[in-house]
Amino acid sequence: MRRPEGEAPARRPADRGFRARTAFLPFSRPTIGQEEIDEVVDSLRSGWITTGPKAERFEREFAAFTGARHALALSSATAGLHIGLIALGLRPGDEVIVPPLTWAATVNMIELLGARPVFVDVHPGTLQIDERQVEAAVGERTVGILPVHFGGAPCDLEALRRVAAAAGLWIFEDAAHGVGTRLGGRHVGTTEKLSVFSFHPIKNMTTIEGGAVASNDEVFIKRLEQLRFHGIDKGSDGNIDVAAWGGKMNLPDVNAAVGLAQLARLDGFNRRRRELVQQYFRRLSPSDVLVLPADGKGHSWHMFCVCIDHAALGKTRAGLLSLFSEHGISVGTHYPAMHLFSLYRQFGYGEGDFPVAEKIGAQTLTLPLFPAMTEADVEHVCATLTAILSGRL
C-alpha cells in the first residue's frame, strides 16, 4: 500500500550515509496554485458548474495551443478513445495495430468494440512503436494504427503515415502522454484525422480528471460532439433529434476552470520538467545494469523511465520498490506489457511474442518527476539509486 503523502517513512540506520528526510517524495504531484483556485471559485460563484462557457473556452484555447483546428473536452482520455474509435467506424472483427507498451485504456477500447488489437513491438531505445514491424503486421482486416507517444516523446509519425497511406488505414494518435510534445516543430496530435489527450493529475497538466480529442475535420468533430452527449443533434429550429447512440462524456466547467489555469502555465511546467530531467542525466550513468531513457527534441517528459536488470543486480523489482520506499521515495512501474494480461491472452498472445516490450515492462522503474520537485529531491533519488546499484543498499 502506498504511504500517504506527509507520513514519515521507515528509515534505515543513519550510518547508511543518507540525509534525513521529513516528507515522502511522491512519484508525481499536480501543481495547483492560486490561479486554479481562483478559476474554480469563479465557476462555483457563477452558478454554472457543469459543461458551459469555461469548457467551451478551454476547447478553444487548447486547440490554439496545439495548433489543431478543433478540440473537444471530455470526461477522460478513455472516453476520447471510445468515441473516437466509434466515429472512425471500428466494427467487430476489425484489427487495429497498437504497441503493447501503453496503459490499458488504449487497448481496452479496441476490445470493447469487438475488434482485435494487433500488437507490434517497440524500439528498445525510444520505447516507441516499431514502424518497421507495423508494416509487416498489416493484414486483410486491419483498418487502423493507434500509436502511443510514450512518456512524452514523439513516435515516428512520418514512417507510420507512409504505411497507413499504402494500406488505406487511418491513424488515431494516443497523445495521452503528449501534452506539450512536438515533432518537427508541430505539436503532436495535429496532423492526423484524430488524436486524444489526457489531463489526469499525473499528466503534465490536469483538469482533475478529463481529456480531449483534437481533429482538423469539422464534420468529424461534430460527430464526436453527438457521441459525447447522448447522440443529440440540435437543429437550427431549437428541436433535437437522437439518430444514433451517444454516451455522457462531457467535461464540467469546474474541471475546465482548473484546465484553463493549467494551460496558461503549461510551458513553464514543461520547462521545469526538462530542467529536472537534465539533472537526472547529469547524475546518473548508464551501465550494463542501468538503461536511461533516450533524450530528444520535442520531448515533454511526462515520465522519466529507467530500466534495471534485476537479475544482474541480484534483486527483485519488488525489493527495489521497497528500498526506495524505505528512503522516502515513491517510484512507478510504467508499464507491464499489455499482451501478457489475461484479457489479451484470449487472442493467443503469450510470453516471447514481443521481447522488447516484455523486457522493458519487467525492468522499468519510473522515477519521480513533477514541477514542484527540487534539485535536492533529484539528488536524493539519484543517490539512492546509485547506492542500490553499487550494492551499498
What is the set of active-site residues?
203
Contacts of 254 (CB under 8 A, 6+ apart): 40, 43, 44, 49
For residues 332 and 312, what is the distance between their CA atoms, to the nearest angstrom? 21
Q: Residue 390: how many CB atoms within 10 A of its CB?
A: 9
SS (HEC) of 131-148:
HHHHHHHCCCCEEEECCE
User: How far out from the chain centre does Cα 190 lie?
Assistant: 17
177: cell is: 502522454
Burial state string for 292-318 with b = 16 or more CB within 10 A and e = fewer than 16: ebeeeebbbbbbbbbbbbbeebebeee
14: cell is: 543513519
Among residues 179, 224, 171, the alpha carbon closest in space to that of 198 is found at 179
- CA dihedral 202→205→208→210, nearest 10 degrees, is -100
For residues 35 and 42, what is the distance between their CA atoms, to the nearest angstrom? 11
